[in-house]
Amino acid sequence: MLNFIYYPVSAVLWLWHTAFAAVLGASSGLAWVLAIIFLVLTLRALLIKPFLAQLRFSKGLAEMQPHIAEIKRKHPGDLQKQSEEMRKLQEEKGVNMLLGCLPIVGQTLVFIGLYHVLRSFQNPNIANYVFSPEQVQSFLQAKLFSAPLASTLMNAGDSFTSVAAVAIPLMIIAAVATHFTARFTVERQRRIGTEVTPQVRLINNLSLYVFPLGAIAAGAVMPVAILLYFVTQNAWTFAQQHLVYRRFDAEVPVP
């Protein structure tokens, strides 16, 4: 059903693994670790332009808030008229709701694709999308330090100590990074004058506290390879927030 996601994601992972395996050896666990990391870097790099569009969308949305309040004041209770006026306002300000959502949609699709592809590395005798049976077997044997990339805390069995020694620090790093990324986002909302509605406040609280706890809880059932993906993803997001926002603010000063 979602092969249009699974095949491209597996293809990018295959390309990076093939490149690193040519240097480190086909059986190298490090080749798989680097392939996952560079898969994230590749796909996030492709989303930089949509991310910049999202920044402009956020700034335009903040600038629209006084006008939206005026529209609601002029047409109280008339939802159809409010909708028409807001649509005209979006066109006037060049605010595209689709572009504003594209980065998060793209990241979600990539995660779904990667999670499915990695979870499909099960039978060493059966190919997994673009991966041959030999590569499937290589992945199943790959380790990050002493923890198999395919293992989770829940199914680690005799390898629980080894998996925990790798998985738990990755879970904590992902949770901490998620919290500080959310803090940066909340602070920026304040700086650009985003209206803090009850819905926005709820999302902010979820991002600050619930999502980091969720990262720890989910980490118990996630393969080590997925935890590695989360840490790389969060590291990119953290760096992108500081570097790209700084450049964006220099081009379009925040009031």
Query: Is 136 found in the same domain as 10?
Result: yes
Please tell me whether residues 38 and 49 are part of one structural domain: yes
Return the percent helix, strand and coil in the chain, to nearest 5: 80, 0, 20
pTM flag (> 0.75):
yes
Q: Are residues 35 and 121 in the same domain?
A: yes
CA 199 to chain centre: 22
* 169-219: pLDDT as tens digits: 999 998 998 898 888 888 877 776 666 677 778 888 888 999 899 889 888
**pLDDT at residue 254, as a whole number:** 45
SS3 string, 93-153, reads: HCCCHHHHHHHHHHHHHHHHHHHHHHHCCCCCCCCECCECHHHHHHHHHCEECCEECCCCC
Residue 67, number of CB atoms within 10 A of its CB? 14
Name 148's bridge partners: 143
Burial letters for 141-166: b for 16+ Cβ neighbours within 10 Å, e otherwise? ebbbeebbbbbbbeebeeeeebbeeb
Question: How many domains are contained in the chain?
Answer: 2
**Average pLDDT of the residues of the chain:** 83
Query: How confident is the model at residue 101, as a pLDDT?
Result: 67
On whether both 118 and 149 belong to a single domain, the answer is no
Shared-domain flag, residues 135 and 165 = no
What does the alpha-carbon distance between residue 237 and residue 242 come to, in Å, rounded to a whole number? 9
- Report pLDDT for 171: 93
- 98 and 224 fall within a common domain: no
Same domain as 175, residue 96: no
**CA gap 73, 82 in Å, rounded:** 10
Neighbours of 226 (CB within 10 A): 23
